[in-house]
Structure 1
């Protein structure tokens, strides 16, 4: 009897675990996001992460992920400076272009922030960037911002 019950149990298990056609929903949107926003924790009390660089670094490259099927043509996306999270001054502390290009058949673009060496004046300034996308590619609401903190060494002590 135990043997019959065991065989019956295996037949029932096989019957219920057989292949079932399932219709999985496929997402067909297109988003862009900062890689640093995906992998780094947000600043305390904020929704964005911070990348800290010295003013002597020259430039910092921020990777932009393209979350979509590849496109046959280049895609130019825009980004902006968010004044509410920025104390850095354009041209004095940094320069940017405001656009990044996702090459055809690629998943990535690079936003380059050129850091101006303001010398040993002490303190730090912040630059908050936000992806805007373009007409067909939207920014990810959760991962569209990243802040760059530019540190400046203290001046040498006199004496």
Structure 2
């Protein structure tokens, strides 16, 4: 009798347990993030990664992800250069536009940085970029910054 009662109780738990409606929350927000910030570990003591590039690279592209449903129209996303993490000089070491466009029906865009070849003067400079978003799409708090370290080769040694 105990065995039958145990089996009946177990069956009832499964029957009534499977009828419970599960209401999982669905996030309806929209954010943009740097792909490099998602997949690259942050610099020690900072919340953002650093990517080293040569000053001879020309144009360097950073992938920006839309974390939301795709939009029916183009979305213009703004970004800025953060002075606290930047030693590079605009117009001398790099050029940026301050905005990028995520095309309609897409989840990615490319932020282009024109790296100026300053020649063989040695050392490096840093450029810290931060996504700002727009009126409908905000920047991801954890993945909105990336720092580019622009390296310049040392001049050839004179004989």
Give the TM-score normalised by the residue count of structure 2: 0.93
- Residue aligning to 1:158: 158
- Residue in 1 aligned with 2:134? 134
RMSD, aligned CA: 1.5
Q: Does 1:4 align with 2:4?
A: yes
Separation of aligned partners in 2, 1:79 and 1:11: 58
* Counterpart-to-counterpart distance in 1, 2:73 and 2:41: 33
| Distance in 1 (alpha carbons) for counterparts of 2:142 and 2:14 | 43
Alignment of 1:31-50 (within 5 A): 31-50=31-50
1-side partners of 2:78 and 2:63: how far apart?
A: 14
- Between 1:83-92 and 1:22-31, the stretch displaced more is 22-31
**Partner Cα separation in structure 1 for residue 90 and residue 28 of structure 2:** 37
Cα deviation code 1:52-104 (max 9, x no counterpart): 10111112110111111111110001000000000001111111111110101
Gaps of 5+ in 1: none
Is the aligned partner of 1:106 residue 2:106? Answer: yes
1:82 is aligned to 82
Structure 2 CA distance for aligned equivalents of residues 152 and 132 of structure 1:
29
- Inter-partner Cα distance in structure 1 for 2:81 and 2:50: 14
Could you tell me how far 1:20 is from its partner in structure 2?
2.1
Query: How far apart are the structure 2 equivalents of 1:100 and 1:139?
Result: 13
User: Which residue of 2 is the match for residue 52 of structure 1?
Assistant: 52
CA deviation profile, 1:5-41 (whole Å, cap 9, x unmatched) = 6633541442254142122211111111111111111
The residue aligned with 1:29 is 29
Number of matched pairs:
159
Matched, 1:95 2:95: yes
Distance (Å, rounded) in 1 between the aligned partners of 2:25 and 2:18: 21
Secondary structure of the equivalent of 1:36?
helix
Following TM superposition, by how much is the alpha carbon of 1:135 offset from its aligned partner in structure 2, in angstroms? 1.1
